[in-house]
Chains A and B, each alone.
Chain A
Amino acid sequence: MLKTFPKGGVHPPENKISAGAAIETLPLPTTATIPISQHLGAPSAPTVKKGDKVKVGQIIAQSTGFVSTNIHSSVSGTVQKIDDSIDASGYKRKAVIISVEGDEWDENIDRSPELKKEFSLSGPDIIKKVLENGVVGLGGATFPTHVKLSVPKGMKADVLILNGVECEPYLTSDHRIMLEKADEIIVGTQILMKALDVKKALIGIENNKPDAIEVFSKLADKNPGIEVHPLKVQYPQGGEKQLIKALINREVPSGGLPIAVGAVVQNVGTALAVYEAVQKNKPLIERVVSLTGKSVKKPANYLVRIGTPVAELIEASGGLPDDTGKVINGGPMMGKALNSLEVPVTKGTSGILIIPELEARRRPVQNCIRCARCTQVCPMGLEPYLLMTLTQKSMWDKVETNHALDCIECGSCAYTCPADRPLLDYIRLGKTTVSKLIRARKQ
């Protein structure tokens, strides 16, 4: 029997149409728009000004706190301006806009393709290096990796979990790097194990990627301490808490972090970025992005420089299909529709999904028929219909006592609702309001 999380979950059509497409390097953009807030936490502070010449890998914005990180130039050229520019949030936020001239890299970056296995750095030095090179969680939440690696006092990690699940339908970027960069990911895993001082690493991969499971099983045999576990195909298997429950059968307490049960979860993409940061001195300036969709001419996986407009990826895949209804940043379950194609690729962009008009529209909202499907599929064991109703009635104390803050926003409830109720929309509203109230109470 394959391992999985015990509660809830759904299984949407997988549609991994770009899984067979090898990673291609996308040509450089003419201008790169690099937002100064690409991670969870405090936005970085720009260190360059208009007219400055920058090289690839040069720091352009400095970390401004513990939960923050550095941002590097992904291109070489001149800083055009530091101005508000539309980003994936749908709002205009501050970004460094660089006009690209040539492709001149910082001298300290090792661009050779050879695998570098040996590393001598100590744990704290690794964490420092990770921060310097601006590595964040590449699974989508973009939580700064150095924060996750800095285990709080009094806590101890005993296992590292590598997330190669990629449970979102359509997306294939993690799948491709697992096939093409497996050796690097294994070294990255060893570096992460050293930083956390753990002896065991578990790699979780969904069973719909047998080729990746095979590659990693072979590598795991050669590397003691690393194990590979095939997992049942079930959304949201890649959720941090679900993955921990599935692999080591521990339950993260309500409101707690995975470290409370001795686990640290990192995405495979993050492991690759850590390898590049520590071994090659290469900051996080590019990432693999899937460009996919049913009517896309050439579904593909591109290695893209951060700051490239989404429009250029779409152009490279044969342009925007005529029947486009929505362009989504991320997967169909948790992704968010974009309202402009000028939005740049950021550290958190795992895929760009183009949905045809016929599938893009939401159906009209109907009354709740009390079928309780949302409760059945909620992987956190919440009652989505109740949270929605309480939010609509502004009963915030009850929203809080019904654990709205434990919602992981996976969208299973809204996906399964036969009455097409916007459950997640309202739960999110409840969550933001309750967190605001809690913050106000603490002051």
Chain B
Amino acid sequence: MSATVIFTIVSLSAIGVIAATILYFVAQKFKVFEDPRIDQVDEVLPGANCGGCGYPGCRGFAEACVKANELDALFCPVGGNDCMADVAKVLGKEAVAKDPEIAVLRCAGTHSLRPNVNQYDGAANCTISSNLYGGETGCTFGCLGLGECVDVCNFDALVMDPETGLPVVDADKCTGCNACVEQCPRDLFELRPKGKKDRRIYVACRNMEKGAAKKIGCEVACIGCNRCVKECAFDAIVVENFNAYIDPIKCKLCRKCVMVCPTGAIHELNFPPRKVKVEVEGEAEKPKAVKAKPEPVVEVAASKAEAQPERVVEKASPEALSNKENENTSDQSIKLGE
């Protein structure tokens, strides 16, 4: 009995020793050298694994950073410049500071401005709906409102606004990871530089139809009238397929195009209210252009109201004014029109 126990212990120990020896040599022979810096870089990355850098997850990006000679072509949109500076520190390389980018939605066709002409009751998925047909509204290029971008956003930066039917970008949370840009079947998102003081100007329309046709479907469509192109002093605007595009690099954020746009398709974000201008006869036309515009963006509306306070007061309550005064105001408006 005891002999069996001893024999078992001895034989198993012998097998263990032999196997360990073999494994030791095999491990030496097939050792995979992994740069320890990969782990270090991985540690300073945000760990979101969003793929915004173009690599499969943060580990993949860390490997690419270690392998690369220069960090110029590599950028982590989530971590931003701070994160890249840390990576550069770990690797002893130099990081090039990049302007942070943010997603903007190039569609302003809310429920009220772009009414539904039919109903979709298929699967609640933008790509399926887009493959199936032109959409519930008269515009076959605009937002379908089924929220695939919201689903794909890893950072909670997109929320569907039930009132407008459009997704809203939360500027504080958006990391510019490109996920929504790739997902949107209508190609409505674009990454644009955050801009000085978070100020951005962009055309919120992607409709490529002829002007008259798209005006039927949506009140705030870019009709390709070329007025902004003529107004722009920096050649930043091009009109292609009846649709204007503002080059964010050339754009100097002067806001002149916003003023001339007859449909209000050009949006300005985070600008201070326009300065009150002294009423000069020649300039009367410009605020008019603004006035004809619907109000899709809150900021624009606010700036508009303050841009012409005197006139607003004058015309605000015609009922309250006496007939005589009423005549006066209309006289004045005619004069201004001249």
Which A residues form the contact surface with B (CB < 8 A)?
84, 86, 89-92, 336-337, 339, 361-362, 365, 422, 425-426, 428-429, 432
Contact = CB atoms under 8 A, between A and B. Distances in A.
Contacts of A339: 117-118, 133-134
6 contacts: A84-B213, A86-B134, A91-B133, A362-B121, A422-B122, A425-B132
Interface string B119-157: 001110101100111110000100000000000000000
A361 B121 contact: yes
Contact of A426 (B117, B121, B128, B133): B128
B131 A422 contact: no
A84 B209 CA distance: 8
Contacts of B210: 84
Nearest to B140: A91
A336 B120 CA distance: 12
B117 A425 contact: no
Contacts of A425: 122-123, 125, 128, 132
A428 B133 contact: no
B134 A90 contact: yes
Q: Most chain-A CB neighbours within 10 Å: which of B117, B140, B213?
A: B140
Contacts of A432: 131
Given A90-B134, A336-B133, 5 more contacts: A86-B134, A90-B133, A425-B132, A428-B131, A429-B131
A185 B209 CA distance: 44
A339 B117 CA distance: 8
Nearest to A433: B127
A362 B124 CA distance: 12
Interface residues of B, number: 17
Contacts of A337: 133
B333 to A, nearest CB: 40
A425 B213 CA distance: 30
Interface string B91-129: 000000000000000000000000001100111010110
B218 to A, nearest CB: 14
Contacts, number: 47
A351 to B, nearest CB: 19
Contacts of A422: 122-123, 128
Chain A to chain B: the 4 pairs with minimum beta-carbon distance, closest first: A90-B133, A422-B123, A425-B123, A90-B134
A365 B122 CA distance: 10
A108 B117 CA distance: 45
Contacts of A91: 133-134, 140
A336 B122 CA distance: 11
Contacts of B125: 425-426, 429
Nearest to B121: A362
A91 B127 CA distance: 14
Contacts of A361: 121
A91 B138 CA distance: 10
A84 B131 CA distance: 18
B122 A89 contact: no
B153 to A, nearest CB: 15
A5 B267 CA distance: 59
Contacts of B213: 84, 92
A362 B128 contact: no
Q: Most chain-A CB neighbours within 10 Å: which of B127, B131, B213?
A: B131
B126 to A, nearest CB: 10
A217 to B, nearest CB: 41
Interface string B71-107: 0000000000000000000000000000000000000
Q: Most chain-B CB neighbours within 10 Å: which of A89, A90, A361, A426?
A: A90
B134 A336 contact: no
Contacts of B123: 365, 422, 425-426
A422 B132 CA distance: 13
Nearest to A86: B134
A92 B128 contact: no
A428 B132 CA distance: 10
Contacts of A89: 133-134
Contacts of B131: 428-429, 432
A440 to B, nearest CB: 14
B132 A336 contact: yes
Contact of B132 (A86, A90, A365, A426): A90
A417 to B, nearest CB: 12
A90 B117 CA distance: 12
Nearest to A88: B133
Given A339-B134, A428-B128, A92 B121 contact: no
Contacts of B121: 361-362
A108 B32 CA distance: 79
A168 B209 CA distance: 36
Interface in B193-216: 209-210, 213
A338 B128 CA distance: 16
A87 to B, nearest CB: 10
A89 B209 CA distance: 16
Contacts of B135: 90
Contacts of B133: 89-91, 336-337, 339
A432 B127 CA distance: 10
B221 to A, nearest CB: 14
A92 B141 CA distance: 10
Nearest to A83: B210
Contacts of A426: 123, 125, 128
Contacts of A428: 128, 131
Nearest to B133: A90
Nearest to A362: B121
Contact of B140 (A92, A362, A429): A92
Contacts of A84: 209-210, 213
A424 to B, nearest CB: 9
A429 B127 contact: yes
A429 B122 contact: no
A428 B121 CA distance: 16
A428 B123 CA distance: 11
